[in-house]
Amino acid sequence: MRDTDKDIIRGLRLFADVEADKFDSLMMAAYAQRFPAHVDLIREGETADFLYIVLEGSVELFSTSHGRETSMAIVAPVSTFILAATIKDAPYLMAARTLEPSKLLLIPSSNVRTVFGDDPAFARAIVTELASCYRSVVKSMKNLKLRTAIERVGNYIIRLHDKSGKADIVELPFGKRNLASILGMTPENLSRAFGALQSHGIMMDGARIEILDRAALEAISKPNPLIDDPRS
Amino acid sequence: MRDTDKDIIRGLRLFADVEADKFDSLMMAAYAQRFPAHVDLIREGETADFLYIVLEGSVELFSTSHGRETSMAIVAPVSTFILAATIKDAPYLMAARTLEPSKLLLIPSSNVRTVFGDDPAFARAIVTELASCYRSVVKSMKNLKLRTAIERVGNYIIRLHDKSGKADIVELPFGKRNLASILGMTPENLSRAFGALQSHGIMMDGARIEILDRAALEAISKPNPLIDDPRS
DNA sequence: CGGAGTGTTGAAAAATTTCAAGGGTCGTGG
DNA sequence: CCACGACCCTTGAAATTTTTCAACACTCCG
């Protein structure tokens, strides 16, 4: 692995306080690799041989059952995925594929578990990361169960707006088909939701969204920090 | 705390390998308490002062947003709840109330975090428990997003059947109103789903369900181990 | 004996999905 | 370089699912 990669990884909260020799032993076993877009990385049901970290690009986590498919999450840099399966040495509950050309770090699960046992700082970082993942899924589930389709779309736009530093125009970070699946609806329904929201403070133009009236958007979306706030 | 309680707790996987003095320091700070049915234990947004463990009875985790409410999970003995908030010292994302008279163990969050740092065996147990919780929510979410209402109800019955050791008659462990919310539908819709399933291998009688034709029930429910299997 | 809470059923309303068609973009191969 | 096909997004209309509203039976408890 290249030293520049190593520096980036060292900077992650997950590894920040890991002892030097433990970190080196993890990195020795790990390797960074580039993948083209739309490549299958893992399949549901396989056992978790590696912990993955997205360094560049983005990865879709999705699940399938009897002919239906749904996106569970999109992982952007810099984040881990399938940490829980790695910890439990259990089969993946979600499949993963690249959405765009991506650079990933793969660390053998057994090494992760070993260092977890040897290095309390790493253990603490792992458990914090896992707790964050858990809370993130809980928020997704609240989003799905407590909101209508239009509210979900509206709040998604509000979050984009916040992330952009309240820019006048925000851009969808991936295709509407994927977004629809993440938000638990069909692409057609997402299209109509965007249409409906144009009377409530936004103006769509392809993947670009102009925020004209944030207050109106909030009025119909009813944001809730305990669902939307990425901190907490 | 009574010694019999202590023995029960010592038997939990979470505490099985904890060093004796660490365990005692946790138990010294903890207390077991009985609560009547339908008592609010915690509210969303409060900070996580305690880790809870259900010793007897059952607890509903639920969430609210702008006048709507949904059940997120029902916690049966012996399990923890709100572990992630405890670890992160963050606000609860879910509220909790007893469903029936219950006995709970409350351990101050700060003690949990301290022992987590001091005792590698406890750290490992915590992270395993948390990973299980995470995987459990992911499965719930797959259940919601990949299945129709009838399939969710059918698979719920199949799980009950399995848990009972394939008894001819199984009993719903809590009210249909709660079950409907857990399964992401209205009580009316659950009623109709039960009705529809009577042509597919079951016979309802109040809270009792007779399993007449497991194969027919599976045919319409399409079970999937990566959603339904509580192990894995 | 009320009265509250729970579960069921029917009918109407609303939300969502499905099906079908068409416009647009992009990349590849002729 | 252009044409074609593949894919994505949008829109309309119909079908389906789900929710809502209303009424009613039943049980449990005070």
Query: Residue B9: its pLDDT value, please?
Result: 87
CA of B63 to C1' of C3 (A): 29
Chain B contact set for A83 (CB, 8 A): 131
Would you call B90 and A120 a contact, using CB atoms and an 8 Å cutoff? no
Determine the average pLDDT of the residues in A174-188. Answer: 97
**Interface list for B 77-116 with A (CB within 8 A):** 83-85, 87-88, 90-91, 93-94, 116
Predicted local distance difference test score (pLDDT) of residue B152 = 98
Q: Is B121 on the interface with A (CB under 8 A)?
A: no
Quick check: is B14 in a domain? yes
> Residue B63 is nearest to which of A130, A135, A142, comparing CB atoms?
A142
Same domain, A181 and A122: no
Asked if residue A25 and residue A123 are part of one domain, the reply reads yes
Classify A66 in phi/psi space as left (phi over 0), alpha (psi -120 to 50) or beta.
left
**Does residue B61 form part of some domain?**
yes
Do both A107 and A33 map to the same domain? yes
Q: Is A21 exposed, middle or buried (0-12, 13-18, 19+ CB in 10 A)?
A: exposed
How far apart are alpha carbons A173 and A85 in whole angstroms? Answer: 27
**pLDDT of A1 higher than 80:** no
Residue A185 has pLDDT above 90, yes or no: yes
Strand runs (DSSP E) across A67-201, as ranges? 68-75, 79-81, 95-98, 102-108, 169-171
- The reply to whether B15 and B71 lie within a common domain is yes
Output the domain CATH number for residue A84.
Answer: 2.60.120.10
Please answer yes or no on whether B127 and A65 come within 8 Å at the CB atom.
no
**What pLDDT does residue B5 have?**
77
pLDDT for position B145: 98
Which chain A residues are Cβ-neighbours of B224 within 8 angstroms?
Answer: 65-66
* Shared-domain flag, residues B52 and B152: no
- What does the alpha-carbon distance between residue B58 and residue A144 come to, in Å, rounded to a whole number? 25
Q: Please judge whether A85 and B135 are an interchain contact, meaning their C-beta atoms are less than 8 angstroms apart.
A: yes
Of A133, A161, A193, the residue that ends a domain is A133
pLDDT of A231: 82
**Domain end position, chosen among B86, B107, B136:** B136
In a domain, A144, yes or no: no
Check residue B43 and give its pLDDT: 95
Q: Which of A230, A149, A163 is nearest to A196 (CA)?
A: A149
Whether B142 maps to a domain, the answer reads: no
Collapsed DSSP state (helix, strand, coil) of residue A6: helix
Does residue A106 sit in the same domain as residue A35? Answer: yes
- Residue A25 sits in the same domain as residue A126: yes
3-class DSSP assignment, residue A228:
helix
**Residue A20 located in a structural domain:** yes
Helix (H) or strand (E) holding B71: strand B68-75
The Cα of A68 is separated from the nearest Cα of chain B by a number of Å equal to 6
Domain region containing B216: 147-228
Nucleotides on chain C within 7 angstroms of protein Cβ: 6-11, 15-20
- CA B38 to C1' D30 (Å) is 18
Q: What is the mean pLDDT of residues A126-153?
A: 97
Position B7 scores a pLDDT of 83
Closest CA relative to residue B155, chosen from B205, B232, B146: B146
Q: How confident is the model at residue A208 (pLDDT cuts 50, 70, 90)?
A: very high
Residue B54 maps to a domain: yes
One domain for residues A89 and A116:
yes
Report if residue A143 sits inside a domain: no
pLDDT tens for chain B, 232 residues long, are 677 778 888 888 899 899 999 999 999 999 999 999 999 999 999 999 999 999 999 999 999 999 999 999 999 998 999 999 999 999 999 999 999 999 999 999 999 999 998 899 999 999 999 999 999 999 999 999 999 999 999 999 999 999 999 999 999 999 999 999 999 999 999 999 999 999 999 999 999 999 999 999 999 999 999 999 988 7
Give the separation between CA B205 and CA B186, rounded to whole angstroms. Answer: 20
Q: Residue A187, CA: closest nucleotide via C1'? A: D9
Residue A192 has pLDDT above 80, yes or no: yes
B118 and B153 part of one domain? no
Query: Do B132 and B154 lie in a common domain?
Result: no
Where is average pLDDT lowest: A17-21, A120-124, B2-6?
B2-6
C-alpha–C-alpha distance, residues B40 and B58, integer Å = 12
- Look at residue A29 and tell me if it is in a domain: yes
What is the average pLDDT value for chain A, to the nearest integer? 94
Shared domain check, B193 and B129: no
Per the structure, how many domains does chain B have? 2
What is the pLDDT, as a whole number, of residue A5? 77
**Same domain assignment for residues A109 and A160:** no
Q: What is the CATH number of the domain that holds A176?
A: 1.10.10.10
> For residue A4, what pLDDT is reported?
77
Q: Do B127 and A116 count as a contact with CB atoms less than 8 A apart?
A: yes
Domain boundary among B74, B107, B136: B136
